[in-house]
Structure 1
């Protein structure tokens, strides 16, 4: 679990900000930038000097960060925060899709940082939540967020990620978790039929089993079996491309948007997210029209005795760029370093 106090906002001047090297390290790209300031007017961090490198071009993380620092045309930042798509155990960081691993303390010493933090990419999303620009994102469920209440972030991509920004009047802390591996619950009759097929083919049917890139394929194959159709050998991208004319592809994506409403509502209850729910990841921002037409809102809200609770929670689809950078800056800056 990564924890921090609330980042400074209302009293932060623009003259005492020490630049922060921020990074978003994923299986495809290693993205680096510098948070050069905090802008009180926009209530967010100024992100500049962006560089994007294909991760496969480097044999180790140290080579990637060295490349960025060598090409940086300003004084090197003395502070750094890295958002990574991989597990962090103490000071050891593992990026399994790349075969990279590094020790945070050793990187700190090698590159001369006064402070260095490494956080999960969805923890960065949670840290960024208070600084998002409403005009750049899409509200998919209206509601009334409560000040100083918890915020949940989640989303399907290569896998399924989630985290919580826990808040009260004294400050805040980010709670990372493995919510993607929670057992997936069925609500409707179709859910139950699909779940039965999925359970026959998977040892454990988790949220991520369905709500991820590979999960779309599993859901499509299960949908075909439930309807007595022979599935084609399609990737997630091909299912999306064929959806307009393929009945089973269309039904798969529709149900993906419906069912994830129940999942999001469950996690909103789990985290007590009266401050709102923010959905990111690489999949749903590409399906906005379908998501808005779906039963997402109804299924998010339909929670029996707790339906009045979930009905008041707003849900935002985050399409704004540079979220990991904003979150990394907020994480380190919030520690007052």
Structure 2
């Protein structure tokens, strides 16, 4: 049990589906008292924070750092993938403490420096050069698709890169896009690389076979494990498109120091995805294939990188 007289900070990673909380001591950044609450259980965000505090983890709270899945530049925070919206200033008044808010994928990119080697699953041979500055990028599928980057100076590159348009790289992907246009006026990469993305890919592949089938993302993964043909194809498409988008992100950001794949979905799919397909698509960039072949690429398999990133943000503030 921690010393109740010592000021501590709450860190929280707010996704589209779940809100994860922990606390850290003022003098250290080790995560303690980790809890996960379904966002749907709380009409207001402040109620989720109070529920965490009331669990007895945090008697003397000096402040809170939130990582949220959405833009954070304005006072009003409106999360696109869940029902919560709030004012940062009002939240400070309600809680009686300073509130720092960062983008959830800014937290992901901040976490990299603090992650142990066993928290990374490297894909391919290249590794980051520790003595060479460069841009680092993180992207990953969860309820949505997050993208962020970090400059050599440590400055975060804000991004809504998950909402760029989907660009097919094969005839099959072009056929998928034709089908998806019947469902969406515009098809962003998030429509394919997220929980809804797996479900969309399953549906679109079924339509290409003249079938009308829907399946939630967790069941698509389960079906792939069982060898279901449509589920296996959906996972294959997801993997190929993820690698391609990661390579595009590397080129767009100049992220030659490394690209890291995170989010809530990938760690749960490690047994059904072919990481070689991710690497192959990542490098399939025409004249820039040799350049992409030299870029380090890894999957973050740590359980709570968003919370680690919030702790890092407090450490640097």
Question: Normalised by the shorter chain, which TM-score bucket?
Answer: 0.7 to 0.9
Inter-CA distance 129–188: structure 2 relative to 1 (3 Å threshold): same
Asked whether the 8 Å contact 2:149–2:156 carries over to 1, the reply is yes
Alignment partners' CA distance in 2, 1:322 and 1:297: 24
Aligned partner of 1:84 in structure 2 is 68
Residue number among 12, 20, 23 corresponding to 2:12 in the alignment: 23
**CA offset digits 1:40-81 (Å, max 9, x no partner):** xxxxx3111323334334332222223333444555232321
2:44 is the counterpart of 1:60: yes
SS in 2 for 1:269: helix
Alignment partners' CA distance in 2, 1:56 and 1:219: 26
**Aligned-pair CA distance for 1:184:** 0.9
**CA offset digits 1:191-239 (Å, max 9, x no partner):** 222222223432111101111111222222322333x342433222222
In the comparison of the two structures, how many residue pairs are matched?
309
Aligned partner of 2:183 in structure 1 is 201
Alignment partners' CA distance in 2, 1:296 and 1:74: 42
Inter-CA distance 70–331: structure 2 relative to 1 (3 Å threshold): same
SS in 1 for 2:232: helix
Residue number among 139, 150, 155 corresponding to 1:154 in the alignment: 139
Inter-CA distance 55–199: structure 2 relative to 1 (3 Å threshold): closer
Residue number among 26, 34, 49 corresponding to 2:23 in the alignment: 34
Residue number among 73, 93, 102 corresponding to 2:86 in the alignment: 102
Aligned partner of 2:3 in structure 1 is none
Superposition pairs of residues 138-177 of structure 1, within 5 angstroms: 138-146=121-129, 147-167=132-152, 171-177=153-159
SS in 1 for 2:273: helix
**Aligned-pair CA distance for 1:297:** 0.9
Asked whether the 8 Å contact 1:21–1:35 carries over to 2, the reply is yes
Alignment partners' CA distance in 1, 2:277 and 2:297: 14
**Aligned-pair CA distance for 1:82:** 0.7
Inter-CA distance 320–203: structure 2 relative to 1 (3 Å threshold): same
Asked whether the 8 Å contact 2:8–2:58 carries over to 1, the reply is no
Residue number among 94, 105, 111 corresponding to 2:95 in the alignment: 111
Which consecutive aligned stretches of 4+ in structure 1 deviate over 4 angstroms post-superposition? none
Aligned partner of 1:121 in structure 2 is 104
2:206 is the counterpart of 1:188: no
Alignment partners' CA distance in 1, 2:204 and 2:101: 38
**Higher deviation after alignment, 298-307 or 240-249:** 240-249
Residue number among 219, 234, 250 corresponding to 1:238 in the alignment: 219
Asked whether the 8 Å contact 1:125–1:323 carries over to 2, the reply is yes
Inter-CA distance 248–63: structure 2 relative to 1 (3 Å threshold): closer
Inter-CA distance 299–173: structure 2 relative to 1 (3 Å threshold): same
Inter-CA distance 191–175: structure 2 relative to 1 (3 Å threshold): same
2:308 is the counterpart of 1:323: no
RMSD: 2.4
Alignment partners' CA distance in 2, 1:209 and 1:98: 16
**CA offset digits 1:6-52 (Å, max 9, x no partner):** xxxxxxxxxxx97432112234433221122677xxxxx31113233
TM-score after normalising by structure 2: 0.88
Aligned partner of 1:332 in structure 2 is 314
**Aligned-pair CA distance for 1:293:** 5.3
Alignment partners' CA distance in 2, 1:68 and 1:142: 42
**Aligned-pair CA distance for 1:89:** 4.8
Asked whether the 8 Å contact 1:24–1:82 carries over to 2, the reply is yes
Alignment partners' CA distance in 1, 2:170 and 2:16: 35
Asked whether the 8 Å contact 2:88–2:99 carries over to 1, the reply is yes
Asked whether the 8 Å contact 2:141–2:195 carries over to 1, the reply is yes
Residue number among 119, 130, 133 corresponding to 1:136 in the alignment: 119
